Amino acid sequence: MENMETHERLKIAVIAFELITPHARTGGVSHFNHRLCTKLSEWGHEITAYTMNNELENASYRIQSLYEQKGQANRISRFYWAPFSARKVDFSAYDLVISSGDDWAMRRQGKPWVRIMHGSAWREVQHNTRMLRKINLSFQYLLERLSFRQSSVTLFNSNDTETLYPARKQDKVLFLPVDTKLFYPGEKASVPTILFVGALDSRKRGRMLRDLFVASIRKRIPDARLWMVCHPGEPLDGVEYFEHLSNEALADLYRKAHVYCMPSTYEGFGLPYLEALASGTLAVSTPNPGANEVLQNGKYGVVVPDSQLADAIADALLNYGDYKDKIADGLQRASDCSWENVVPHYLSYGRRQ
């Protein structure tokens, strides 16, 4: 692991149209952007985040909003209007630009431009059922390819994502980082506990997991608990809902749970699986590109088809000691993907000659 204090101090622009807000639930990319900016600032770099969110206060980095009205912009504004609006931004003073997307119309001005590909809109097209959403995602995929072509280097979050874009020798697969100072092992709950983070009715398939818990898992393990970090559904015995958690409170749930399960149909990477590994929690999933890569098809967790999911979770809860080696291997994998080990790859593209 590199000593972050030895890095040359850089002036960095982060394209972070998705950024956390105190008043609404935001997705994984927004949390990645905030943590990236915060970490880089802590390590002494001068950071400016260009975003559509102007509500975040007390950040340790500078925020430059591209949206004049109070509150978050709608999706159409962020996807289509914002990149054109950002053409006026002058990046000439920066040593490095790191982008999480929506940058296809921005002027590069010869600056090192690192595009982090968090997944692919095309995969979301394949796993989405709403026609208007499919149409929008199809356009987004075309714009992702344009953004890819214009970047100095593209860092793909998975091998699956990389296959959807033309091969270039400067690009590579680099897993997204996990905050091992936030997610780390601790004492487990006093009763067998499963954690889910996502949405009940989405490709995350929280409702399916909840149904399996009620119909099968709890019948085998009457004192089992299912913690669901999502908008609350109907009350059920053994099921507890959590909403609007701080990062620290969420990490505490990861530590206390025995099993983390997100039976998603598609994850471009699946950072929650890695957060579970870092927390010393067994990750159990159905197959998807993110789970398959992070868990290496079961080397660092359990990956089973839908028909075997309930039994796999129940078996893990009943025989938890049998998985101690797998959990230990998962901890090492998470350590290899820590911010301290991953971020130097980003910074290497902005080193002054």
> What is the secondary structure of 286-318 as a DSSP string?
---HHHHHHTGGGTSSEE--GGGHHHHHHHHHH
271 token code pair: 């950072």
Q: Which two tokens stand for residue 242?
A: 């959590």
The class of domain 193-336 in CATH terms is alpha beta
Residue linked to tokens 């019948």 = 219
In tens digits, the chain (353 residues) has pLDDT values of: 445 555 689 999 999 988 888 766 777 888 899 999 999 999 999 999 998 877 777 899 999 988 765 555 566 776 788 788 888 899 999 999 999 998 999 999 899 999 999 989 998 888 887 898 899 999 999 999 999 999 999 999 999 999 999 999 999 999 999 999 999 999 999 999 999 999 999 889 999 999 999 999 999 999 999 999 999 999 999 999 999 888 899 999 999 999 999 999 988 888 999 999 999 999 999 999 899 999 999 999 999 999 999 999 999 999 999 999 999 999 999 999 999 999 999 999 986 44
**Which phi and psi angles does 259 have, rounded to 5°?**
-130, 135
Q: Global pTM?
A: 0.87
Question: Quick one: which of 323, 318, 261 has its CA closest to 286?
Answer: 261
Same topology between domain 4-177+339-350 and domain 193-336? yes
Listed by start position, the domains of the chain span 4-177+339-350, 193-336
The alpha-carbon radius of gyration of the chain (Å, integer) is 20
CATH C-level class of 4-177+339-350: alpha beta
